[in-house]
Structure 1
Amino acid sequence: MRTPRLLLRRLRAEDGPAMFRVHGDPATYRYSPESVHRSLAGSEAMLQLCRRHWAEHGFGYWAIELAREQTVIGFGGLERQRWREHEVLNLYYRLTPSAWGQGYATEMARTALQLARAYLPSLPVIARIRIANLPSQQVALKVGLRRLPEELEEPGYYIFASEYPGWSRREQREGIGEAAS
């Protein structure tokens, strides 16, 4: 998949070192330092899980490359998951800090949502975002996700969604639960 500036491609077995460069960098995990990958083996394990999802579902998280440079700057996309007894598509984006603030996460997320609407329209898209991670929240809002009501949140996280099965059609049309920007 290509966007104006990015190549979003299926993960490859040899992506472990790139995954570790992104997920092993403490700066990448400014808002969740406990989640930083401590070793290449940890990144390889995540890579295998992501590749298994691709094999089972035909889609999953991408390696995000700058199209002109063919350099991996991060990982992101959608994976099918269960959340609160509902099947959902989890929106994920993790980019190296040197790529922050340039709109790459928004560009990738917008593409992922377009594909979700085209091919899996019955599944809501959600993003679990740390409360302190304002830049990630801004990405979610820019691509049209809305913050779910407080009672649906998890400790330390806001939940943003394209829709929620518990919302009525009126609530989905009127944007109830939308976070203030």
Structure 2
Amino acid sequence: MRGIRTDRLVLREPTMADLPAMVAVHTDPGATVFEPEGPRTPEQCHVQLTNWIQRWATDGHCYWIILTDGGPIGFGGIGLCERDGEPYLNLYFRFTPSAWGHGYATEMATAALDLAARRRPDLPVWIVTAAENQRALRIAEKFGFHPIPSPDPDDAFWVYREWRAPTRPRAATTAKVITTDGS
């Protein structure tokens, strides 16, 4: 199993065994407060997790399950996406509300952007979020994402932010790549 260990988190490739955590996070009204469709159904969670697992197999990366010593607290990472034929990496994160305010999103985003800079420095990284999602916009600001125009000028709900890997190497992090045996 592929993943990364940071100071406080394990960010690993999800499996179908993670479906209960997927359902817990993505059906939580608090965790999905900025989703226009609201919480997902368990069936939608199953489809989405299946898609992420397939994307790990084809792309070599996608969204992680995010764990602390206390268990799963969310999902996030970078996934390969496309808009109008142009590829980009989407920085996604969704945490249980009890995990908010502890710096976990910053820690996960640091690992995800380091991965993006190493694996796909040619692609921009986007954050697409609701205009009122101040937590996500603070993460975007913290990492130097800049506003880009919406592909749909009539859409006032979503905002778009873009980040590009620096041309010189980023400072090393304390993140450690982990393998199936956890080493």
TM over 0.5, shorter chain: yes
Q: Describe how 1:1-181 pairs up with structure 2 within 5 A.
A: 1-38=4-41, 40-66=42-68, 68-69=69-70, 71-149=71-149, 154-163=155-164
Deviates more, 1:45-54 or 1:145-154: 145-154
Deviates more, 1:53-62 or 1:28-37: 28-37
Structure 1 counterpart SS, 2:66: strand
TM-score between the two structures when normalised by the length of structure 2: 0.82
Give the Cα–Cα distance (whole angstroms) in 2 for the partners of residues 62 and 102 of structure 1: 18
Structure 1 counterpart SS, 2:5: coil
Structure 2 counterpart SS, 1:141: helix
Contact 1:147 1:160 in 2 (8 A): yes
Give the Cα–Cα distance (whole angstroms) in 1 for the partners of residues 147 and 102 of structure 2: 23
1:151 Cα offset (Å): 7.0
1:108 Cα offset (Å): 0.4
Give the Cα–Cα distance (whole angstroms) in 2 for the partners of residues 89 and 23 of structure 1: 21
Identity %: 37
Contact 1:152 1:159 in 2 (8 A): no
1:147 Cα offset (Å): 1.5
RCO higher in structure (CA 8 A, sep ≥6): 2
Give the Cα–Cα distance (whole angstroms) in 2 for the partners of residues 150 and 75 of structure 1: 25
Higher relative helix content: 1
1:152 Cα offset (Å): 6.9
How many residue pairs are counted as aligned between the two chains? 162
How big is each residue's C-alpha offset from its partner over 1:16-54, in whole Å with a ceiling of 9 and x where there is no partner?
Answer: 11000000001111122523112x222111100100100
Instruction: Identify if the C-alpha distance between structure 1 residues 107 and 134 changes in structure 2 by more than 3 Å, giving closer, same or farther.
Output: same
Q: Return the letter of the residue paired with 2:115.
A: L
TM-score between the two structures when normalised by the length of structure 1: 0.83
